[in-house]
Structure 1
Amino acid sequence: MGRGGQSLARVAVIVRAGAVPLWWLGVLATGIGVLLPGLTGRRIGGYAGAALFVVCAAVVALVRRRKYTGWADRAARAGKSDFLQDRAVTLRNWRRANRWWLLAAFFVAVGSSFALPGAGGPALAGVGVGLWLKAAWLGRRERRDDALLWVRTDWAGTGHPVGRKVKGYRTTGTAAGDAVPGGARRRR
């Protein structure tokens, strides 16, 4: 095709990369937050945390779906010279680039427990669950279209597969790469 090879990362893997750390940091923040008495008491904090968990999971799972769908509909086929980044490398790059944001979110979740005990942690865990649900949605779309979605690593930057720099997606067959549709590790 005449174009040079590009490094490509799986869209679903980038989306899924934050799910596990956010979940576990949310669980840890909840455990610490429940130990603090707070201004409102543990019971109100628990109810607020449950509501925040559901709201955060739903919002994160549903936000920007139109952008993902639009890029997926206009995706071009990946070239033979394109380099497909391993799942482990994508996860490591995302977590390294966002480790300070994750740490800051954890401290904010724990700090919020002085007002609402145990409410910030479930919100953080809800964001993680929302990311996992969005990756699962992308996986269903990839199975339906029988094509995996990839984005150039220089466009995705620090883990934003629908960010301002993204100009398009590329596709491959479902056997490409080391992750199944949805971004989970491929079992050998």
Structure 2
Amino acid sequence: MGSLKRFDKWIAGLLGTGVIVSAWFVHVPQTEASQLQGGRAEQAYRLVKHGALEELSADGLVGSEFMSSEFYGGSETLDLLKQLRQDCAGIDLRLTHETNSEDLDGNRSTSFYVNGDSHHYVVFYRYNKENTRASKIRSLYGTDKNSRSPLIRTAGKLALVYVSSGSGKDKYSDQLEPIFDSLLKEMK
């Protein structure tokens, strides 16, 4: 039980650090952001300020070129994430606290809390190679095959995972399983 409390404290510290870094990035003055890399930094600033998945209407910029190629790893990935959010919203599941990360090899992940609860989260992984996906998912979750707990669905270089803990473990598995299956079926 003591190791679970340490793990919870570690996760809370990690999330707290992310919140601080995110808050700093959101509050970078636009003049500083525009000096970073010209128009790209200004566009990134506006994307963060107005919501990463919302279209920008000012100056006719949509922002998808920046988001898809540099932030989300391709327009196909961005479309999949948008569809994931829409499908979840359609069954009254809100994906909140979006966090994006990239490792040193360029493999990316986007994670969300389900209905704002840190005990339930969905992670979308996009790897550069299928064999990398298999080994990384196996090392993280103990298997690279489709499983029920945690709910893991894979296709090629992609993986969708629902992880839960606490008394409500696997609370959303039945709702998320058909969404994961449908989204990854489209990607094959």
- The structure showing larger relative contact order (alpha-carbon pairs under 8 Å, at least 6 residues apart) is 1
TM-score tier (shorter): under 0.3
Judging by fraction of residues, say which structure has more strand: 2
Q: Which has the larger radius of gyration?
A: 1
What is the TM-score of this pair, normalised by structure 2? 0.25
Give the structure with the larger helix fraction.
Answer: 1
